[in-house]
Structures are given as structure tokens and as C-alpha cells.
Amino acid sequence: MKNCLELILAGLLALLTLSLPYDGAFPQHKPMGTGIGAMPGRVVWAHDPDSVNWDGSGYWWELSHFDEPAIQKMVDESIARLGGKPTAKEGWQALFAYKSEGSYKAGEKIAIKANINGSAVMDDDTSGRTAMSYTNPVLLKALLTSLVKDAGVAPGDITVYDVSRLFPDYMVELCTQGELNGVNFVGRNNGVADESAPIVWSHDFSGRVNYLPTCVMEARYVINLANLKGHSYGITLCGKNHFGSFINGNALRPPEGANLHQWLTRDEMGIYSPLVDLMANADLGGKTVLYMLDALICAPSEGASITKENSTWQQAPFNGGFTASVFVSQDPDAIDSVGADFLSNEPTVTNYNRAAASVNNENYLHEAGLVNSAPSGTAYTGSRGHTVTNLGVHEHWNNSAEKKYSRNLGKDEGIELVRAG
């Protein structure tokens, strides 16, 4: 009788799923690429509405607007679930074991690429007093705390960097106190180019030679801490976060010095994407042990002044509140695919940008998912002899109500979106 009831319930659930039409901004398609990670294709989503409490007064980033213990819990539970383990300590062990086929060893350096795009955009102001977006300071502290307490990384072996911007003084102070004393910060004021490490692009185009900073070259592992936000070219996620990972003499605008924006403004499918080259680079994507999206308060665009009105989301489960979320994965294509689905389904973002369901971003996801047979015909070669075989899996959810991907629906391949907590 029990088995019979289970079959009936499963059938009813299947019928209900079929009755919900696809409502995404992107065309549905089968998974492209192969899921990677300790739990292949897994993206973990932590959401706690109580982690953010902002009435719209003052700056969005003020520390009093965030519940630090709640955010720490979100990070710890996310790391545990991403590794398929019950604790953050075991989760980190699984993530490092997948990346290096062994455990983290004392003394190995970690470089964290933060997105500090809104700080010191046109000047050398390090107060952080801007309404534009940058990495949430409390989330950064929570990530650092988890690395030190649960992963066993010494603070002095961690460097947080963005060599195109300057870190706010208050953020550096917050993240170097107590047990975090010794964490290093590298911005455009103290970033040093390693001229033995030029970025090699897989497509010929004009632009300055771009060098990775020494903090990346010295690191054994990289963590990509990106933002979930809109952009004037569509959206910004983990792929574009590395536009602050190279030095070429144009201190304020390295991507313009590299002549990269030409590939992100054409609204075309089947063209070369420099974002794929950055993910394929042996010292960037090749070293990355964790991808994280800061989605505590999401900006509608990179140049927008964040207000309560333009950063609260209407889609469920936010329902007029802040996104108050964190996403983590070891699969760069998977986490950016999930981020694209959330952003393209939000009117606050799509109404602000000319193309939130960005063709440019979708082109990048397709190129990364089919890297061995990219639609553009580009042979993405990586660097330093690093052979590009697979950059993860790309697809879109079944619909915005259920937010299910292939692995959630019982398939052997594709993305799996799971909730932490």
C-alpha cells in the first residue's frame, strides 16, 4: 500500500510540474557540458530574510544593517552542503580534496577575488562612502572566518584582491581584526604585475598586454567572490569578476586597456568570449576551489546608487524584501547559469538594464558549456600548457516557481540547485 501511494504522489507531482509553463528569459535546452565539483553541478543557495535589516537610510553597506551571526551561519551551512558533508570543516576538506586530490596543506596561499567595482572608481577615495555596489563587508568577513576556523588557513596566507580598485579602509579594518589579523589586501595601489604571466587570449585582437598580479601567481588556490547584480551590458557574475584580475598600465580601467568590452556589447550569439578564457586560465579558473555570489543586497547595475526601492526583489521567495542570499558552487558555468535565471526573472533588474537577459552573457555560458566545440569555433587553449576540456555545465531552470534543474528532476547530468539550512 505504501509503495502504491508513493507512486500515485509521484505521478501527481509530475503532472503538476508539467502544468507549470516555462517562463524564463532564455530558451530552454539540454545541459551543455559536464557538471564539476565534489558534488558535480551543485549550486547551494542560502536565504535568510533576517540577515539583512535596512530601512533605506544611510549607505547600504553600513555594518548595522546586517546580522553577522546569521550570515556566518549561511556561509558555514553552504560550504557543508556544497561538499556534501554535515559540517563546514568537512565541507572545506571535500572541496580542497576535489580540487587538488588531497587536503589543504599549511602554508598554501589563497587569493580571494572580491568585486570592489564601486569603490574608488574615479579617484583614490578609500572611505567606501558610495551608494554603488561592492563586495559586502560582512559576507567577506564570514568567508574569511570560515577559512581560518574551519579550513585551517592561516590569515597571513590569505590575500583579498581587486587590482582595478581600492578597498575601503573600514572593510580592511573589519577583516583584519582578532583571529583574522594578518589577512592581506591588494588593490590597484599595491598590486604588482608578474610579467612572466601574461594572459594569453584564444582570439587575436588588439589591446595591451595583461599580466596577472603576483598574489594570484603565488596562490595555490583562488576563491571567486562575485556579486549577483545587473550591469549596463546585462548582468555581472563570476565570469566578469575577473575583469579586476589583471594589470596592463590602465590603472582605472584595465578592461578598456585590454579592449575587452567590444566582446560584451555586441548582443550576438556564437562569438568569442574573453570570459571563457579567464575561466579557463590555469592561474584563475584553473586554481579556483570555490565560486561564491554575494546576493545579500543586489544592485540593479554597476553604476547605480543602491536604494531600498531598487534593490528589493518581487519574485518569490523575496516578495518585496531583500534577496538576503548567498550562492556557492565549484562549477563556474552552473553558478553563473543560476545567477542568470534569478536576475532575468526580476523586474527591478530587467527594467533597469537594456538587456538583463543579456545575449552577451548567454553567449558566454554557451561557449563555456560547449568549450570543446564552442559555437564560435574558438579553440580555448587556457595557458601554461593548461588544456581546456570542460568548464562545467550550463542550462536554465524549468520555471521560476519551482527553480528546478536537471539533477533536481532526477537526471544524471546537469545542475542541482539545493537550499542550505
pLDDT in tens, 299-310: 998 889 999 999
Q: For the ranges 19-23, 55-59, 180-184, which has the lowest average pLDDT? A: 19-23
Q: What is the pTM of this model?
A: 0.94
Q: What is the DSSP letter of 189?
A: T
Cβ-contact 326, 334 below 8 angstroms: no
What's the whole-number mean pLDDT along residues 303-329? 96
Nearest-angstrom CA–CA distance, 353 and 328: 25
pLDDT of residue 353: 65
- Mean of the per-residue pLDDT values for the chain? 91
pLDDT of residue 385: 64
pLDDT of residue 356: 46
Peptide bond connecting 317 to the previous residue in cis, omega within 30 degrees of 0: yes
- pLDDT of residue 143 exceeding 70: yes
pLDDT of residue 17: 43
Cβ-contact 120, 166 below 8 angstroms: yes
Task: Write down the residue that cell numbers 531598487 correspond to.
Answer: 310
- Residue 21, judged by CB atoms within 10 A of its CB (0-12, 13-18, 19+), counts as exposed
- pLDDT of residue 7 exceeding 50: no
pLDDT of residue 119: 95
- DSSP per position, 223-265: EEEEE-EEETTEEE-HHHHGGGS-BSS-SS-HHHHHT-GGGTS
Length, in residues, of the chain: 421
Nearest-angstrom CA–CA distance, 327 and 170: 25
Here the cell at position 54 is: 535596512
Here the cell at position 219 is: 596562490
Report the percent of the chain where pLDDT is more than 70: 93
pLDDT band at 318 (very low <50, low <70, confident <90, very high): very high
Task: Write down the residue that cell numbers 579586476 correspond to.
Answer: 244
Q: For the ranges 83-97, 273-287, 343-357, which has the lowest average pLDDT? A: 343-357
- pLDDT of residue 14 exceeding 80: no
Nearest to 29 by CA among 317, 279, 342, 369: 369
The amino acid sitting at 267 is D
Top pLDDT among 24 and 165 is at 165
pLDDT band at 9 (very low <50, low <70, confident <90, very high): very low
pLDDT of residue 234: 72
3-state secondary structure of 37: coil
Q: For the ranges 96-100, 247-251, 297-301, 378-382, which has the lowest average pLDDT? A: 378-382
What's the whole-number mean pLDDT along residues 53-76? 98
pLDDT in tens, 339-396: 999 998 998 787 666 544 578 889 999 999 999 899 999 999 877 666 788 999 999 9
The angle, 0 to 180 degrees and rounded to 10, between the axes of the packed helices 68-82 and 88-100 is 50
Task: Write down the residue that cell numbers 587538488 correspond to.
Answer: 100
- Residue 101, judged by CB atoms within 10 A of its CB (0-12, 13-18, 19+), counts as exposed
- pLDDT of residue 2 exceeding 50: no
Nearest-angstrom CA–CA distance, 163 and 188: 4
- pLDDT of residue 155 exceeding 80: yes
Nearest to 252 by CA among 377, 332, 165, 171: 165
362 has which bridge partners? none
- pLDDT of residue 331 exceeding 70: yes
Report the percent of the chain where pLDDT is more than 90: 79
**Residues 70/75/80/83 CA torsion (nearest 10 deg):** 160
Nearest-angstrom CA–CA distance, 51 and 60: 13
Top pLDDT among 277 and 12 is at 277
- pLDDT of residue 6 exceeding 60: no
